[in-house]
Amino acid sequence: MNFLARAAIIVGLAVALAASLANDASANDLLYALKVGVLAHDVPDLWSGFQVEHNAADINIEAQFAAAWAMPWGAIRPVIGGSINTRGDTSDGYIDARWQGDLPSGVFFGLGLGAAIHDGEIGGVNSDPDKKWLGSRVLFHIPIEIGYHLDQHSDVSVYFEHMSNAYTQKYNEGMDRIGLRYGYRF
């Protein structure tokens, strides 16, 4: 089974899980939302500035937990997720603290900070020159999201994520992804 087929199965399972949890009252106690989307991989001219890895789609899956720290104009929630590259280039898993603010119009904004672990190159003598040299296996993860709540449960958004080691290592090429996501809120 090729990587794209595995990614499609993972997305299908995430959607099925969201549908089954929607009828489970305990899901409301654990999860705030499940998100799934398609992101462009290693996008040039954003924060990292340049592209090395191939143009490809990344499948992004994320769970936002219900536990929240209320703040003015929103709340901070723990988030866990990952972006799976459909071509076999760098994929990652992440955990963040994410602030989200919701406007009465249905528009929402999200901003987070966390850590990502990836399967890409670190850099150095034996590293593949056709992949980003990220310098460290564990990186900072910075997501930004803007979207619209379609109804009580569904939303759509534009999602951006950046990961890098913030120049704490010799190599720090960084990676940016951007794309569209669908979210289901419990």
- 157: domain CATH number? 2.40.160.20
> What integer pLDDT is reported at residue 137 of this predicted model?
95
Write down the mean pLDDT value for the chain: 88
pTM: 0.85
pLDDT of 59 higher than 90 = yes
Measured distance CA(160)–CA(40) in Å, rounded = 10
What's the total number of domains in the chain? 1
> What integer pLDDT is reported at residue 20 of this predicted model?
58
pLDDT of 1 higher than 50 = no
pLDDT of 24 higher than 90 = no
Weakest mean pLDDT among 17-21, 33-37, 150-154: 17-21
Q: 1 or 32: which carries more pLDDT confidence? A: 32
For 108, the domain range is 3-185
Buried b (16+ CB within 10 A) or exposed e, 93-122: bbebebbbebeeeeebbbbbebebebebbb
β partners of residue 38:
59, 180
> What integer pLDDT is reported at residue 50 of this predicted model?
86
pLDDT band at 100 (very low <50, low <70, confident <90, very high): very high
Helix (H, G, I), strand (E, B) or coil at 125: coil
Average pLDDT on 82-105 reads 95
Measured distance CA(76)–CA(66) in Å, rounded = 10
Average pLDDT on 156-183 reads 96
pLDDT band at 16 (very low <50, low <70, confident <90, very high): low
